[in-house]
Structure 1
Amino acid sequence: MTALDPVLLTQDLIRRPSVTPADAGAMDVLQAALSGLGFTCRRMRFGEIENLYARYGTARPNLCFAGHTDVVPVGDAGAWSRDAFAADIVDEVLIGRGAVDMKSALAAFAAAAAKAIASGQAKGSISFLITGDEEGVATHGTKKVVEALMAEGEIIDHCVVGEPTSAESFGDMIKIGRRGSINVEIRVEGVQGHVAYPHRAANPVPVLIRLLERLQSRVLDEGYTDFQPSNLEVTTIDVGNPTTNLIPGLATARLNIRFNPAHTGAELADWIRREADAAAEGFPGRIELKPAISGEAFLTEQGPFTELVAAAVRDVTGREPELSTSGGTSDARFIRAMCPVVELGLVGKTMHSVDERAPVAEIRQLQAVYERLIARYFETFAPA
């Protein structure tokens, strides 16, 4: 059995500039490492996106690690202190796009799996569900893979997602749920005309303002168990009127709601439609809404699985991690259809930033936490 060095594997992954939707050979690097450990690997390509499902063993329970090889663009390359894809180590800190989000986690779990397999701890199955579409629109990645696996009858019992969940210090936070997200495009069509003759026009701007006021005046909730209150944010209002004496014929806006399990995306979309109808009462134009639900809120109830993950962090770091539902969305929103899921990874402060970086010592600590997690998992859930 070949041991894996998580730092060297992370460097190898970073050197593949896998900016969504490009793969640039990153999936090949990971597949080669897992194949060398005895994993059965399946490439699952949807559209232009490369995905990988790899499994060691056939028995249950099946502990899955989920993550992504794709990264966001570099931005201003000249602002980086090092080439963003060189994966240089400077003063024991690995610099590169994907160092935190989340190629280090891929490498750390692969190295941890290698140790577990070599020591005979894998009393069931270990699997990897990896996509190249997490940083993009996420239509041909984890969502498609989950749907395909479920259609085949594949069973995943529990899943750990390697997103960078730590807030200030490594191991201080684990994500046990996420808020849902709905984006809504609003288009109010009126009748263009001269400002001196408003009776010949139908101004869409007051209608849009009334609608946004109605939406923002509602307190969606006061919070939900383990969740902060839901919030609605208007992200843009556009009229595009270049002159002062013209009543525009069109006004548009976009908004986003991050919501807890007190709501569903469909319920919020229906509410917005009702408010739009009320705001447009007597208006001769029309309002068009385009809601897009990118994920529903979910919570993994605290119990044996969340406790063993927290215990693995305590074993290695001595910290008591906060079990949190804060932050944005992740691919955990798709995986939760198959099984309970938690998220555990490095400190996320530099993700998506210039000089994204991860201390080498923390990458190795993450491997150690994953090793303890795997050991505790099979001690807890594998048949005696």
Structure 2
Amino acid sequence: MQSLANISEIVANFNCNADTASLQSFGSGHINDTYFLKNIDARGTDYLLQRINHHIFTNVPALTDNMCLVIDHLKRKVSATDPAKADTEVMTLIPGRDGKYFYHDKHGDYWRMCYFLSNTKSYDVVETEKQALEGGKAFGKFQCMLADLNPAMLYEVIPDFHNITTRLAALKLAVNYNLKGRVHEVKAQLDFIYRYAETMQYFQQPEQQAVLPKRVTHNDTKFNNVLLNSNDEAQCVIDLDTVMAGYVAYDFGDAIRTIINKTVEDESDLDKIKLNIPLFNAYTQGYLTEAARFLTEAEINSLIMGVLLLPYMQAVRFLTDFINGDTYFKIRFNGHNLQRAKAQLRLFELLQNHKNELHNIIIKQMESIKKGATLAV
């Protein structure tokens, strides 16, 4: 927790009325540190203050430019139909007194502030089909509204973020260096990962890259990055640090990774990891209801590969971090990243076993939408 003196200094650099004495930690993110602050005016909007992990996000000004570009685009789209919703359905960054949307403090840390969207909630584990449906609508609408934004305008925040070829190379490098002497603990996991390595490089195949368009994508679509209102209806997509060019299947797959699992991402009892097919069906329906407006046939057919890739890739990332000594993801205990990797590999195994069933659900949902009302572009 930051000291109040330090927080007061940071907050003073933003155009806000935050009560620094109300500081409390907020959320469950793996990378940035987030704090909740109340407004001095009880009738005013409260705030979120974030310390950006600049060791991971090494170009904070460019990252911020990405966020501002996307936020402005989304606000224009929402305002075109209902101006009153622009600030409740899209996050709002607070400018600093120097006009920048971040503050670089004397300790070298980077900070940003945004308004807190009251009467909203997020879920680490999806509980109902309605929640899954609304999450699908949220991310489908997010992609749809950004479909006409040129992805080349965005800075690549983390190069090769979802490039599994690069991730596998990093894993092999970690194994070769074995800095913490942990490789002997993960032989079974490494064997399993290498067994599927070639198949999982689907999106790096030239024939796929020739037909799959790059679009502006979120790239971190775990379910708790959707805010729902008090009625569990989609309201806002948050956490835009990794917004950049990508394939739509990456976003679809990462959302499914956190929705279809009946337990938490880092479940220690692998027998508890089971697939919730009704939630998959509901999310797919919600997503395609919005995304069918712009998706190509090749993109639709690629969605199932995103479903398989993202838990596999996340396992590779967790295992790499474990071998390297837990330098990337926050951990709560020794061996946390290994536990995460094991859980994600079990999830991948189950998804692989049900691949055809899940793909058929995607196709049937798409056919149903095509038979329905004409979709406006």
- Normalised to the residue count of structure 1, the TM-score between the two structures is 0.25
Larger Rg: 1
- Normalised to the residue count of structure 2, the TM-score between the two structures is 0.25
- Greater strand proportion: 1
